[in-house]
Amino acid sequence: MSKNDTEPHSGAESEEETQNKVEEAQELVILEPDALDVDLNHGKIAKIENLETLERVETLCLRWNLITKIENLSTLTSLTELDLYDNQITKIENLDALVNLTSLDISFNRLRKIEGLENLVNLEKLYLVSNKITKIENVGHLSELKLLELGDNRIRTIENLEGLEKLKEFYIGKNKVTKIQNLEACPHLAILSLQSNRIVNIEGLQALSELDQFYISHNGVDTIQGLDNNKALSTLDLAGNRISKIQNLDHLENLQDLWMNDNQVSDWNDINHLAGLNQLGTIYMERNPIQTQSSADYRRKLKLSLPQLTQIDASMCR
């Protein structure tokens, strides 16, 4: 769900190597003025400069470089997509002129704060994965935002989402969140990812009647609950928690994928609670006691109990 392609940077370099990098960067920014899509990935570029000739550019990709500062973009007013993934940027700044921007990616950098987005009112996708951000803030004015990706940061609280009524996808996995809250501001959420946090209760989802995919694996949840109003769910990821009983799922008539591997389900009678879910095609139950204690009959018993299944764990049913 997150963008996670990484590229290691080289270590110390000689003066000659440094000069070669500068020369390469200068060569890379000799661009066609009419170019719509400009790709400067892996250019060893240390500074954003010499882009003034780009009169029509719509997409600018500067992934996997050595950029430390966002600058010299004010003339690129036609820009709709800006990708600065995997650089060394410490601050979101100097974007005020990019009022047509719909997608911004500053993932895998060194950001500590969400800021500098005041004029980006047309933004639809914002990726800030794998930074050092501690708080959700300064995004409420982004009324067109449909996707917000904040995975792998240092966020403890879900907050300050008021104004994001059009948000469809919210990814905040691998943070330090302890409670699901304040999501009523985003009633049209279709995808919610809370994987690898510190959550112990499924709650705060009452307003999300359009929720289609819910990922809450690798937390501390011990009880399946709080999904009463989420009848549109097609994918539910509960893997890697402390759940010992399958319950409160029989109303999820649209459920197609249920991931419950690495939990503590030991009673085969619990599987019968899923028998009425006719759309259920895929289930993951490996590394639960019902699998580890009867591995020889595990797949056969699951298929007999749930004949609608087409996939058990990673293998298709025969």
DSSP assignment of the chain equals -------PPP----HHHHHHHHHHHHHHT---TT-SEEE-TT----S--S-TT-SS--EEE--SS------S-TT-TT--EEE--SS------S-TT-TT--EEE--SS---S--S-TT-TT--EEE--SS------S-TT-TT--EEE--SS--------TT-TT--EEE--SS--------TT-TT--EEE--SS------S-TT-TT--EEE--SS---S--S-TT-TT-SEEE-TTS------S-TT-TT--EEE--SS----GGGGGGGTT-TT--EEE-TTSHHHHSSTTTHHHHHHHH-TT-SEETTEE--
Query: 192 and 220 in one domain?
Result: no
Q: Indicate if the pLDDT at residue 5 is higher than 90.
A: no
Query: 126 and 66 in one domain?
Result: yes
Please report the pLDDT score of residue 294 as a whole number: 86
Quick check: is 20 in a domain? Answer: no
Quick check: is 1 in a domain? Answer: no
Query: 123 and 213 in one domain?
Result: no
Q: Indicate if the pLDDT at residue 21 is higher than 80.
A: no
User: What integer best gives the mean pLDDT of the chain?
Assistant: 92
Query: 193 and 53 in one domain?
Result: yes
Segment 165-179 shows an average pLDDT of: 98
Query: 183 and 57 in one domain?
Result: yes
Q: How far is CA 274 from CA 30, 164, 269, 304, 315, in A?
A: 61, 35, 10, 12, 19
Quick check: is 308 in a domain? Answer: yes
Query: 194 and 246 in one domain?
Result: no
Please report the pLDDT score of residue 18 as a whole number: 44
Please report the pLDDT score of residue 318 as a whole number: 85
Residue that terminates a domain, selected from 172, 199, 226: 199
pLDDT digits (tens, 9 = 90+) for 32-62: 889 999 999 998 999 999 999 998 999 999 9
Please report the pLDDT score of residue 92 as a whole number: 98
Quick check: is 16 in a domain? Answer: no
Query: 240 and 146 in one domain?
Result: no
Quick check: is 46 in a domain? Answer: yes
| pLDDT band (50, 70, 90) for residue 6 | very low
Q: Indicate if the pLDDT at residue 9 is higher than 90.
A: no
Domain with 273 in it: what CATH number?
A: 3.80.10.10
Quick check: is 177 in a domain? Answer: yes
Q: Which residue has the tokens 């490996």?
A: 286
Quick check: is 52 in a domain? Answer: yes
pTM assigned to the model: 0.90
Query: 144 and 66 in one domain?
Result: yes
Query: 220 and 318 in one domain?
Result: yes
Domain range spanning residue 274? Answer: 201-318
Residue that terminates a domain, selected from 199, 228, 243: 199
Task: Please give the structure tokens belonging to residue 230.
Answer: 């989420």
Query: 174 and 66 in one domain?
Result: yes
Domain count for the chain: 2
Quick check: is 155 in a domain? Answer: yes
